[in-house]
């Protein structure tokens, strides 16, 4: 299992590097497909994946990415309102076939997976996005890795003993510190490409620490859903890791945070 997990990690990182470096329509299309798969995994766990209303969620996801690519997100609010109207229309026409919670789940899945993950693409297309987008993964995947390594060696105090017994406070601190240091180093090495001075580099490094903290919330929240529904993984599409949501659970919540904080740095810089 460990060997499979390591090989999958290497392949996943290589694919992520290649696709994000390419950017443009390829990244947009891939993120749309990843989002749809992630939505399906969540819908399956919450038992709405085989309902007709689930397809309205997938349609909203596709429209959202088309809007991002062609209109740069200008129709986002219109899509959200239209999606809600369609769901309410289904609710009225089909009443009392489906429960209210099922419609709320479909709407939630669109935001939780598709909208949040789309900030990877939105960060990539912003000014200097080819370099800034990697902060998302420094805050999530790097934080996860160093939290695990630090916790394995120094972990004594459980961070969430009921929800995730293996995670420790010491591991969390190690992950946060690693994110800050590696982000600072990354920003310094690429400072000529991003036009960031010392102040901006320090700000981004500190923001990475914030992102690492928030990524842990995303990780634990995804674990909480799995525990509530008594499942080990969301899927099996990634050998040794599980599903899209198992691998991107921390990225989901980190991506929009890095997007908005990076924009704040750019605003201050100007």
Percent of the chain with pLDDT over 90: 48
Residue 267's pLDDT band, with cuts at 50, 70 and 90, is: confident
On the question of pLDDT at 265 being above 90, the answer is no
- What is the pLDDT, as a whole number, of residue 270? 64
On the question of pLDDT at 1 being above 80, the answer is no
Work out the average pLDDT over 168-191.
89
Of 268 and 1, which is predicted with more confidence? 268
- What is the pLDDT, as a whole number, of residue 91? 94
Work out the average pLDDT over 10-36.
92
On the question of pLDDT at 73 being above 60, the answer is yes
Tens of pLDDT along 31-59?
A: 999 999 999 999 999 999 999 999 999 99
* DSSP secondary structure letters along 51-92: STTHHHHHHHHHHHHHHHHHHTTTTHHHHHHHHHHHHHHHHH
Of 61 and 11, which is predicted with more confidence? 61
Tens of pLDDT along 189-247?
A: 888 777 778 888 888 888 889 889 988 888 888 888 888 988 888 988 877 678 899 88
Work out the average pLDDT over 161-172.
83
Work out the average pLDDT over 175-198.
86
């Amino acid at each position: 299992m460990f060997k499979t997990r390591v090989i999958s990690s290497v392949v996943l990182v290589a694919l992520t590097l290649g696709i994000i470096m390419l950017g443009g329509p390829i990244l947009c299309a891939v993120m749309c497909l990843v989002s749809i798969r992630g939505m399906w995994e969540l819908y399956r766990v919450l038992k709405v994946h085989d309902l007709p209303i689930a397809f309205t969620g997938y349609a909203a996801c596709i429209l959202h990415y088309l809007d991002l690519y062609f209109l740069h997100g200008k129709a986002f609010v219109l899509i959200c309102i239209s999606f809600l109207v369609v769901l309410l229309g289904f609710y009225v026409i089909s009443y009392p076939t489906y429960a209210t919670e099922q419609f709320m789940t479909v709407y939630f899945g669109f935001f939780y997976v598709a909208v949040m993950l789309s900030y990877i693409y939105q960060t990539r297309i912003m000014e200097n996005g080819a370099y800034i987008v990697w902060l998302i993964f420094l805050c999530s995947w790097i934080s996860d890795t160093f939290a695990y390594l630090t916790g394995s060696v120094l972990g004594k105090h459980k961070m969430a003993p009921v929800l995730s017994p293996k995670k420790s406070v010491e591991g969390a601190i190690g992950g946060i510190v690693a994110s800050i240091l590696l982000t600072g180093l990354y920003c310094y090495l690429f400072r000529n490409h991003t036009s960031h001075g010392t102040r901006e580099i320090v700000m981004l490094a500190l923001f990475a620490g914030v992102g690492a903290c928030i990524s842990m919330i995303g990780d634990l929240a995804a674990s909480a859903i799995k525990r509530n529904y008594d499942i080990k993984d969301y899927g099996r599409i990634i050998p040794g890791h599980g599903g899209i949501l198992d691998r991107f659970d921390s990225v989901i919540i980190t991506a929009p945070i890095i997007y908005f904080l990076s924009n704040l740095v750019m605003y201050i810089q100007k």
